[in-house]
Amino acid sequence: MNFSGKKSETYVICEVGKGLYDVTKFIGDFYETHEVKITSRSASCTCFGFRVQKDKTQHKHCLMVKFWIENLDKEPGYAFWYEGEDLEFNKFIDFEAITKYMEVA
């Protein structure tokens, strides 16, 4: 899946309500969070880029959340970043392992 973005930016997605997702972008010590709303008919984002983008169907935060929902089943613990225009991701926290550990401890 192709997107546009900067390699130095890392994103984490969190579901905060029905159809509502926080997309947090980290750049070094700086971070900012935008809310993405996904419905059966459309998607929107609170960032400035969404408001000025002509083709709203190609907004990178919305596409990232849709990818996370459709391909990773909204599983927590993934970080996302861009390599050129390609979205890359990696699981950085295994929540199942943490849950099992806490049950034993």
Residue 4 lies in a domain: no
pTM of this prediction exceeds 0.85: no
Residue 5 lies in a domain: no
| Residue 4, both tokens | 């546009």
At residue 7, the pLDDT reads 47
Positions of the chain with pLDDT under 50:
2, 6-7
Residue 35 lies in a domain: yes
Residue 14 lies in a domain: yes
Q: How many CB atoms lie within 10 A of CB 36?
A: 25
At residue 80, the pLDDT reads 94
Residue 59 lies in a domain: yes
Instruction: State the chain's maximal CA–CA distance in angstroms.
Output: 52
In the chain, the number of structural domains is: 1
Domain that includes residue 75, residue range:
10-104
Residue 98 lies in a domain: yes
Distance CA 87, CA 73 (A): 17
